């Protein structure tokens, strides 16, 4: 039996023991009153008022010292230390905590905030309950989760242990939100077009093929939303856009996924020069909204997206840096 199987069996035994006492290891409701980040932000005021608050989160560490125990719990917005004492919560609830909780479980804790002798912000627990019993252990921090491909396959574990990755996901959300705001402020309308196409078009990529039983016909997962978006222009709309989930049945690696999100927008009565101005303005405004500036660092190089951007014809780039252009064409061919 592997170590992982042994741990799982031990946790299943704890789960059965919990259920035998009549306690639910997966209750349907929680009474959270504050996010951990809010408790941290308003710590002094809550501490002074001695106001009881209820926090929830995943157990990230567990330290027992005789009749007291310290846990660190984490929700989606922050982390805090919580303090348990057998004198405060009672000996039976305290023993239940020690015997049944593991790192990775989710817990609800109620109590008041205070500062420990070491100066750490802490919640002194007066009551608690289990929210979720985790049957699989979390990997030790990057011990057993060091392989880059495994991190990409198990993104949920990558997010738990790597705050930088989580921040990238949040930044992606913010960027998409600001792009939507920008396009809509410029009178573009967001639409949804079909994902299943009777014929694929928009690029030369290879499609995924499926069969439509009701029509007894072969269909293709879209490789681009282009054709349907152009039909909306024919229908009378002048500015449309879509964040489209697209599929291309080709190569895959950690930076290329056959399933990806693509933004396309179309603007009637405008030419490529109008689109260049719009795109330039969009980059600058989105960066300013998300990062507070229009320049970013990428691969040790500072890139400034503030306008105006230089305009050059393609032949001019060949004349100036032919070796670089040829290299890029070979890489993308």
Q: pLDDT in tens for each of the 333 residues of the chain?
A: 788 888 999 999 999 999 999 999 999 999 999 999 999 999 999 999 999 999 999 999 999 999 999 999 999 989 999 999 999 999 999 999 999 999 999 999 999 999 999 999 999 999 999 999 999 888 765 454 566 667 777 788 878 877 888 899 999 999 999 999 999 999 999 999 999 999 887 778 899 999 999 999 999 999 999 999 999 999 999 999 999 999 999 888 777 889 999 999 999 999 999 999 999 999 999 999 999 999 998 888 999 999 899 998 888 888 888 887 788 777 766
Q: Is the peptide bond before 136 cis (omega within 30 degrees of 0)?
A: no
Q: Backbone dihedral region of 142: left (phi > 0), alpha (psi from -120 to 50 degrees) or beta? A: left
- Candidate CATH numbers 3.30.930.10, 3.40.309.10, 3.40.50.970, 2.30.31.70; the one for domain 162-294: 3.30.930.10
Q: Which of 228, 268, 267, 220 is nearest to 244 (CA)?
A: 228
Please classify residue 308 by burial: count the beta carbons closer than 10 Å to its beta carbon, then call 0-12 exposed, 13-18 middle and 19+ buried: exposed
CB 222 within 8 A of CB 205: no
Structure-block tokens of residue 324: 């670089």
Whether pTM exceeds 0.95:
no
d(CA 80, CA 112): 13
* β-sheet bridge partners, residue 277: none
Cα dihedral 121/126/129/134 (nearest 10)? 40
d(CA 127, CA 84): 9
CATH 2.40.50.140 intervals, the chain: 3-132
Q: Is the peptide bond before 308 cis (omega within 30 degrees of 0)?
A: yes
- Candidate CATH numbers 3.40.50.1820, 2.40.50.140, 3.40.718.10, 3.40.50.300; the one for domain 3-132: 2.40.50.140
CATH 3.30.930.10 intervals, the chain: 162-294
């Amino acid at each position: 039996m592997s170590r992982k199987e042994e741990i799982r069996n031990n946790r299943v035994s704890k789960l059965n023991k919990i259920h035998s006492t009549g306690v639910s290891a997966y209750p349907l409701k929680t009474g959270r009153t504050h996010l951990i980040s809010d408790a941290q932000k308003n710590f002094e005021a809550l501490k002074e008022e001695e106001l009881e608050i209820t926090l929830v989160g995943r157990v990230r560490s567990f330290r027992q010292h005789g009749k007291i125990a310290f846990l660190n719990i984490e929700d989606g917005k922050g982390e805090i230390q919580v303090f348990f004492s057998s004198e405060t919560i009672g000996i039976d609830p305290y023993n239940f905590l020690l015997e049944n909780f593991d790192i990775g479980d989710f817990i609800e804790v109620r109590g008041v905030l205070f500062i420990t002798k070491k100066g750490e912000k802490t919640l002194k627990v007066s009551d608690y309950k289990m929210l979720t019993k985790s049957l699989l252990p979390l990997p030790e921090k990057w011990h057993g989760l060091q392989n880059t491909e495994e991190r990409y396959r198990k993104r949920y574990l990558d997010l738990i242990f790597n705050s930088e990755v989580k921040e990238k996901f949040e930044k992606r959300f913010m960027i998409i939100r600001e792009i939507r705001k920008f396009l809509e402020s410029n009178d573009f309308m967001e639409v949804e077009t079909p994902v299943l196409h009777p014929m694929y078009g928009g690029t030369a990529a290879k499609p995924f093929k499926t069969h439509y039983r009701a029509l007894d016909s072969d269909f293709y997962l879209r490789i681009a939303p282009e054709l349907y978006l152009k039909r909306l222009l024919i229908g009378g709309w002048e500015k449309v856009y879509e964040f489209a989930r697209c599929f291309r049945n080709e190569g895959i690696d950690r930076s290329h996924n056959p399933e990806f999100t693509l933004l396309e927008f179309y603007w009637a009565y405008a030419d490529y020069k109008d689109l260049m101005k719009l795109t330039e303005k969009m980059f600058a405004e989105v960066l300013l909204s998300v990062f507070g500036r229009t320049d970013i660092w990428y691969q040790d190089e500072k890139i400034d997206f503030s306008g105006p951007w230089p305009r050059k014809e393609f032949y001019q780039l060949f004349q100036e840096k032919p070796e670089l252009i040829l290299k890029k064409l070979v890489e993308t061919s």
